[in-house]
Chains A and B, each alone.
With several copies, the nearest count.
Chain A
Amino acid sequence: MSEQQQRRDGKFGDYGGQYVPEALMPAIEELTDAYERYVLGNEDGFMDEFRRRIRDFGGRPTPMGRADQLSERYGTEVYLKREDLLHGGAHKLNNALGQCLLAKYMGKERIVAETGAGQHGTATAMAAAHLDMPCEIYMGRRDINRQRPNVFRMRINGAEVTPVEVGRGTLKEAINETMRDWATTVETTHYIIGSIVGPHPFPSMVRDFHRPISAETKRQSREAFGRLPDAVVACAGGGSNTMGIFSEFVDPRDSDPEGVDDVDLYAVEAGGSTLDVDEERGVAPNSASLSTGTEGVLHGARTKVLQDTDGQIMESHSVSSGLDYAGVGPELANLVEEGRVDAVNVDDDAALAAFHRLSQTEGIIPALETAHAVAYLEQHDDPSELGEYVVINVSGRGDKDLAAAMEETAGRDLPNAPEMDVFDGEGLR
């Protein structure tokens, strides 16, 4: 399928598409048009402004540096691409800023977004404040009460945070509620989706806003070791940091496409506590939709989904809330199907151990999501087989995860967990 076609109908092989209520279709068409004109066509210098702002406000390019201790441990040169240094502490801002700016170019007056753990919500709140746009974030009640610092941040940035009281009060209820808001306000409002999921043009557009990760990685690899890496490893929830760092290796648009096909790409999913599924209760104790999901339609796109045999979406689980999602981006699903990307997974314990390992040996506290990517090297029988140069995408920092990581660590038997007895009695939060 030619790229041009891909742009038009948003299909990636059998995946993708636009499964949304008719009321939203005109907005989706308008957005598709805006995506093609502004993002792909740089109309009115949109991409120039985006690049300027993501540099001056966001902090691009983010650095890529050698992990001295990990390189020694694994007998291969390990480099870290530092999206944790982007403003807000994760890759998320690339997309939030891009879409917020696009909404402005489209003449929209208001932003809505869903958030689970709060990462996408905080990035959106920052971008909206930066561009002087009113913004409302939907967040499940349970998540609000679990993720107070992120709610603080959104409120402090001036965003409305609207609790979603129905159901379990987590991400999927928030997505449903945001869709509802959008279906009501679509004429004046833009919905900023938080990953490469949802109906076309979201998966392509979100990927393109994250594309600089990949372009920089190529350039920085050539600067650091004179060639492209042998392998690139990224965690995958929805898959935006993943496609962000993969895209120029999969579909090069920069001036330097040579050799990209030789780069192995690994998408590391959350294996949770086990890959087994409780069909009876409709619960997957993992979020490994690429590894264990089946084809289905979720949140506007056909993709790999954790679902029961009827097609009801299952509750997913992961120690990392940002990976805790029952679907995955359609483009990534297709790349796995085509064999271009390897879908692998690591469990909660391995991710927590990697969280502590990277913190202790490299001085970088990663997000628990990122810790999954780091853990993959440890899980590998012989990481040197990955090649001579391996780049890990450090998608975010772990400050948001401190309390969760400590609580989860306390309940497990991890050899490298720090003791916390410096505190006076009180609990960990």
Chain B
Amino acid sequence: MSGGTGESRIPAAFESEPAFVPYLAAGDPTFEASLAYVEALERAGADVIELGLPFSEPIAEGPTIQQAVVRSLDGGMTVERYFEFVAALDVDVPLVCMTYYNLIYQYGDEEGPEPFVERAAAEGIDGFVVPDLPAEEAGPLRAACDAHGRDLVSIVAPTTRDDRLQRLVDLSSGYLYVQARLGVTGARASVSDRTTESLARVAETGTDLPRAVGFGISSFEQARDVIAAGADGAIVGSALVDIVAEGHAEDRPPEETAAELEALGRELKEGALAAAEPEASQAD
């Protein structure tokens, strides 16, 4: 794939229009199929792709993504295979590695995040989201990202108070992952009031980082609504993983699942764009 060791391509991805940021667990359910799924999402119009590196204790994930992690690990996913996966991907969008800190920390001979970041950067990863790494513990990873020109994306939660929020803003680069509601990942029906509130609070910090909203977005309407509420991007995970899970359970040919992913991806991307056109958001 393209990318490589230059600078992160993430900032550019949010520049022109509302971004569609899909998530998939790499290797779910197999290496080959998963490559095809990620590529389908690029075709659907993904602006950034969050690519999960499965960890055995995914404490921040809901059942949907947790099962994806299990499928991927059962399919033989390892850290080494993940990097091979990234290398084998034929896409041209920024990639964010989403994983837990222990895998980053353990990589390489001495303990610490630097070797992992170096290798990830070399394979084409542009940034990182690490759900179990709060600002307090993020110093070493931030430093490694700086050294290798990568972004570190922080999650802002509805419970994040203003002092913490400023700290997260200061720590982050690439974009802010604004968690739409309390809880864990997983598709939900409606967009919560807290999303609007969170976005407003982030705005108050005066940051110019893009804000991508995730947690529970699964439809055109929701993607449109979060953008309308002020987000710069819509992150979608569980709704897409559901399609992978169903395809796996029903033993569908990967092309069929890829096509479904692409279709939902398009719808979501269109939702995000719809909010940007004044008529569409007024019609709501």
Contacts and interface: CB of A to CB of B under 8 A. Distances in A.
Contacts of A312: 55-56, 73, 103
| Interface footprint category on A | 35 or more
B160 A179 contact: no
Contacts of A21: 59-60, 131-132, 134, 155, 157
B203 interface: no
A20 B184 contact: no
Interface string B38-82: 000000000000000001111111110011001001000011100
Contacts of B59: 20-21, 175-176, 179-180, 299-300
A166 B134 CA distance: 27
Interface in B93-144: 100-107, 111, 131-137
Interface stretch (A151-159, A290-298, A391-399): A290-298
A183 B155 CA distance: 13
Given A26-B164, A296-B106, A186 B78 contact: no
A357 to B, nearest CB: 35
A402 interface: no
A185 B182 CA distance: 7
A369 B172 CA distance: 45
Contacts of A307: 102, 106
Contact of A295 (B111, B161, B184): B111
A22 B160 contact: yes
Contacts of B137: 17-19
Contact of A310 (B101, B106, B131, B159): B106
B134 A20 contact: yes
A184 B184 contact: yes
Contact of A166 (B67, B133, B184): B67
A324 to B, nearest CB: 15
B155 A22 contact: yes
A311 B157 contact: no
Contacts of B101: 19, 297
B133 to A, nearest CB: 6
A231 interface: no
A166 B245 CA distance: 14
A166 B155 CA distance: 26
A22 B157 contact: yes
A22 B154 contact: yes
A307 B106 CA distance: 10
Interface string A178-194: 01100111110000000
A264 B73 CA distance: 43
A292 to B, nearest CB: 16
Contact of B159 (A23, A305, A309, A311): A23
Interface in A3-19: 9, 17-19
A183 B73 contact: no
A350 B79 CA distance: 38
Instruction: Among A18, A180, A184, A311, find the residue whose CB has the most chain B CB atoms closer than 10 A.
Output: A311
B179 interface: yes
B168 interface: yes
A26 B159 contact: yes
A34 to B, nearest CB: 16
A22 B134 contact: yes
B106 A22 contact: no
Nearest to B106: A311
B275 to A, nearest CB: 25
A311 B132 contact: no
A23 B67 contact: no
Contacts of B6: none
B235 interface: no
Interface of B: 55-63, 66-67, 70, 73, 78-80, 100-107, 111, 131-137, 154-161, 164, 168, 179, 182-184
6 contacts: A19-B137, A21-B134, A166-B67, A179-B59, A180-B183, A312-B56
